[in-house]
Amino acid sequence: MTTAPKQPITDVASPDTPVRKNLIDLGDIESLQILDTDGVADEAFVPRLDDEALLRVHRAMVLTRTLDIRMLNMQRQGEMGTFAPGIGQEATQIGQVHPLRSRDWFVPSYRSFGAQLWRGWTIEGLMLLWDGFFEGFEVPAGVNDLPFSIVIGSQVPVATGVAMGIRQRREKHVVVTNFGDGAISQGAVNEAFNFAAVYKSPIVFVVENNGYAISMPAEKQAATKELARRGPGFGIPAIRVDGNDVLAMIVATTEAVDRARAGEGPTLIEAVTYRMGLHTTADDPKVYRSDDEVDTWKPRDPITRFEKYLIGKGLLDENRIQRTGEECEQEVLNARERFRERAVANPREVFEYIYDSLPPALQQQKREYLARLDRKGVR
Ligand SMILES: Cc1ncc(C[n+]2csc(CCOP(=O)(O)OP(=O)(O)O)c2C)c(N)n1
Ligand SMILES: [Mg+2]
């Protein structure tokens, strides 16, 4: 599929090994890396983006991380519900939606802040959503995305159905859907692969191999280390991409989206990345992985790596990096104010919206609950 010659990418199991020296023999599976850990690009493969577009990608990654960190603080202070941080996966996130047009479809899993922000979801909307307000699920005007799914892999057959519909209606839209190294074990995901391939559906499957499904390491999840290998068995061309290299993600996704739009069917992109932080705010990864392991991934941080590249091109310097960080922080804080204005819970609503008429047992619970609120003086 890609016209680029094969590029080695680092073996996931040995992240401390210098990137270009650690070849993996993938046989018929192509792999792609453009930026090395020093931020030096293989210019032959760099996507054609002007300076402004490159800086926009950088800012989007910084904003994503800023939001993640701020929301973690809010959660620890009791102002946010449980959520799934994506620290370390920013390049995978921005790269996978970069080539999409507004009327294309993005059908995400729950760890997709970066991609959703790029698609136009608002920061306060995402905050509302993760704080349990249904208003946060409203899809932004102008895009065709679906809200994320927390039921592992369940969004993948839905996304495939959307893509099959697009083809049946002879539309030119494309679907990108993402899911994890754990989700790829789900039967429904594999059924979706088969449907997509047989019906040549315009869909790009992005499996974000971040090393873990909660505490389950990827090497215990699947006997095949390279998840991209799942593609060819279904008749789906696949590529293994360095998911911490935003340029490689953009190139791979652009080619896959172009193929889909041209009627050539699905592609599977394995984005090899690492979840630097918690699975969710309810998780403590220290119980199942060492700090040393996490440290080995720090030199591959997708943001600092891209910054090194942009500094080398003369587009960024330390001052500008600092300014971008401060601007993103301010943007998130402003959104937090708007979130606070809207995040006013009405505890009397908890029995609404699910049943048209409540079953007797729930009617009883509702009466008891409302009486309790009355007793406590909760309005
Ligand atoms: C059907 C289903 N089973 C179990 C869970 C509990 N669960 C939540 S996240 C998760 C792990 C998913 O790992 P992966 O697919 O690698 O995605 P990641 O969280 O790493 O992004 C599990 C088992 C769930 N949400 N849905
Ligand atoms: Mg995972």
Task: Check pLDDT > 80 for residue 11.
Answer: no
Which of these is catalytic: 98, 173, 275, 300? 275
Q: What is the mean pLDDT of residues 249-267?
A: 97
pLDDT tens digits for range 326-354: 999 999 999 999 999 999 988 898 898 88
Task: Check pLDDT > 50 for residue 235.
Answer: yes
Task: Check pLDDT > 70 for residue 253.
Answer: yes
Cα distance between residue 10 and residue 18, in whole Å: 8
Joined tokens for residue 379: 């309005």
Q: CATH 3.40.50.970 spans which residues of the chain?
A: 19-342
pLDDT of residue 26: 55
Task: Please give the class, per CATH, of domain 19-342.
Answer: alpha beta
Estimate the share of the chain in helix, then strand, then coil, as percent rounded to the nearest 5.
50, 10, 40
Kindly state the percentage of the chain with pLDDT values over 70: 93
275 catalytic? Reply is: yes
Atom 20 (ligand 1): residue with closest C-alpha?
Answer: 213
279 catalytic? Reply is: yes
Cα distance between residue 377 and residue 379, in whole Å: 6
Tell me which residues have their CB within 5 A of the ion that is ligand 2.
Answer: 180-181, 210, 213
Which of these is catalytic: 98, 230, 259, 279? 279
pLDDT tens digits for range 168-193: 999 999 999 999 999 999 999 999 99
pLDDT of residue 379: 81
Q: Give the position, in ligand 1's atom list, of the atom nearest the Cα of 109.
A: 21
pLDDT of residue 354: 85
What is the band of 27 on the pLDDT scale with cuts at 50, 70, 90?
Answer: low
A 10 A CB-CB count for 48 gives 6
| Residue 53 Cα to chain centre, angstroms | 20
48 catalytic? Reply is: no
Question: How much distance in Å is there from the Cα of 134 to the middle of ligand 1?
Answer: 22
Give the closest ligand to the alpha carbon of residue 111. 1
Question: How much distance in Å is there from the Cα of 206 to the middle of ligand 2?
Answer: 12
Report the residue count for the chain. Answer: 379
Joined tokens for residue 323: 């300014």
pLDDT tens digits for range 103-142: 999 999 999 999 999 999 999 999 999 999 989 989 999 8
pTM of the model: 0.91
pLDDT of residue 79: 95
Give the closest ligand to the alpha carbon of residue 185. 1
- What is the full DSSP assignment across 26-81? -TT-EEE--B-TT--B-GGG-----HHHHHHHHHHHHHHHHHHHHHHHHHHTTSS-
Q: Report the mean per-residue pLDDT for the chain.
A: 92
